[in-house]
Amino acid sequence: MRATHLFLSGPEIEQIKSYVPQALEAIPHLIVAVNENESPVGFMGIDGQKLEMLFLSSEERGKGTGKQLINYGIQAYSVRELAVNEQNPLAKGFYEHMGFHVYQRTDHDEQGNPYPLLYMRLG
């Protein structure tokens, strides 16, 4: 998260860490990517047709794992929507490369913080 969410302060990241376990429990489908040593290197969470989260270890970025996860989500779970922080241009660009486009923008994130979200759809 620190590698891609540069707009968040240390205390904000710590606050997010506090509710990650609860957020993960609420996700109906959690898919974990593992490397050749069977070590986890990333995961995505899906609820309905919405990608709720996608995270990769820093070492795994640029190796195609994110693309494999997204394609799996689209094929196996019919993922069609997601939200991404506007201040995360690498993620936005990745999702656009994967065929998603912005259809809505908010001025604040789901917690009410001043971090705009971009809502994206496939197609």
Q: The tokens of 58 are what?
A: 């820093």
Task: Judge whether 50 and 65 are in contact, CB under 8 Å.
Answer: no
The neighbour count for residue 12, using CB atoms within 10 Å, is 14
Determine the pLDDT at residue 95. Answer: 97
Task: Judge whether 94 and 88 are in contact, CB under 8 Å.
Answer: no
The neighbour count for residue 57, using CB atoms within 10 Å, is 15
31-68: pLDDT as tens digits? 999 999 999 999 999 999 999 999 888 888 889 999 99
Signed CA dihedral, 5, 7, 10, 11: sign only: negative
* Rounded Cα–Cα distance for residues 31 and 16 (Å): 20
Q: Confidence class of residue 24 from pLDDT cuts 50, 70 and 90? A: confident
* Rounded Cα–Cα distance for residues 92 and 86 (Å): 7
Determine the pLDDT at residue 18. Answer: 61
The angle at the Cα of 34, spanning 30 to 12, to the nearest 5 degrees, equals 60
For the whole model, what pTM was predicted?
0.81
